[in-house]
């Protein structure tokens, strides 16, 4: 086990969901592609990179600006959400190692989810994975004043677990989420969903299925 990982003895662990616990980013891509296509616009990797990790309101606002539909944010948001909930319900799968890691940590340490998705989408994703009852706290973007990259989601999750954020670890896949966890004063383990040459987490792993990570979880 690496020294950096072995030294982590957190009071609590808080997970992101999309792209970290659940492979929902392809589902969001399907929904976002459909919204762009309805306006005759292409949607590829460059466009996808604009939205990774962003909250749904922030995504809808950016889309409204791109589409020249400023003022139509609410309708765009409803369009995206209606599509993505259906795709997640039928297609989303857990990320490699996610279920094993959660099951190892659950009896050993307080764990939570802090997601930039709204509650309706988050509940569908966790239910699809069979994780609805696995966490001591679950906080969604529409339940805090400021979503990621603000610290509110992580601070709320730690408060609900009864652990200090400064003594807890966040698992994140996006730079937006890492910024949120760092702003909350947490140690951050990154599992990037996109290729980031300089991912700003304290420790970066290729996957939640990393054997050393599972050994670490068993040692807590």
Structure tokens at 134: 């696995």
Three-class SS of residue 33? helix
- Domain boundary pick from 91, 110, 137: 91
- Which amino acids are annotated catalytic? 16
- Per-residue pLDDT, 194: 77
Q: What is the pLDDT of residues 9-65, one digit of tens each?
A: 999 999 999 999 999 988 989 999 999 999 999 999 999 988 887 888 999 999 999
Q: What is the pLDDT of residues 174-197, one digit of tens each?
A: 999 999 999 999 999 999 987 777
Number of domains observed in the structure of the chain: 2
Q: Do 133 and 181 fall within a single domain? A: yes
Structure tokens at 155: 């601070």
* Predicted TM-score of the model (pTM): 0.88
Q: Do 119 and 192 fall within a single domain? A: yes
Q: Do 7 and 68 fall within a single domain? A: no
Q: What is the pLDDT of residues 67-116, one digit of tens each?
A: 999 999 999 999 999 999 999 999 999 999 999 999 999 999 999 999 99
- Per-residue pLDDT, 37: 96
Q: How far is CA 104 from CA 60, 110, 122, 188, 202, in A?
A: 37, 11, 22, 19, 22
Please, what is the average pLDDT of the chain? Answer: 94
Q: Do 86 and 100 fall within a single domain? A: no
- Per-residue pLDDT, 56: 86
Q: Do 52 and 159 fall within a single domain? A: no
Range of the domain at 30: 25-91
Q: Do 122 and 170 fall within a single domain? A: yes
Q: Residue 126 maps to which CATH number?
A: 3.40.50.1000
Q: Which stretch of 90-94, 121-125, 192-196, 199-203 has the lowest confidence by average pLDDT?
A: 192-196
């Amino acid at each position: 086990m690496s020294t950096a990982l072995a030294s982590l003895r957190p009071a609590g662990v808080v997970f992101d969901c999309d792209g970290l616990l659940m492979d929902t980013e392809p589902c969001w891509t399907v929904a976002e592609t459909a919204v762009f296509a309805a306006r005759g616009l292409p949607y590829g990797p460059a466009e996808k990179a604009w939205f990774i990790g962003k909250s749904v309101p922030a995504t809808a606002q950016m889309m409204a600006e791109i589409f020249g539909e400023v003022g139509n944010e609410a309708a765009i948001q409803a369009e995206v959400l209606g599509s993505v909930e259906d795709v997640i319900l039928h297609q989303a799968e857990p990320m490699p190692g996610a279920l094993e890691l959660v099951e190892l940590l659950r009896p050993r340490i307080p764990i939570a989810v802090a997601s930039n998705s709204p509650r309706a989408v988050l509940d569908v994703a966790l239910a699809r994975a069979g994780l609805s009852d696995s966490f001591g706290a679950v906080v969604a973007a529409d339940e805090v004043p400021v979503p990621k990259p603000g610290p509110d989601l992580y601070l709320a999750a730690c408060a609900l677990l009864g652990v200090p954020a400064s003594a807890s670890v966040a698992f994140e896949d996006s730079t937006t989420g890492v910024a949120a966890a760092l702003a909350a004063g947490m140690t951050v383990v990154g599992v990037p969903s996109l290729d980031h040459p300089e991912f700003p987490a304290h420790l970066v792993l290729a996957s939640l299925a990393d054997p050393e990570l599972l050994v670490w979880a068993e040692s807590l």
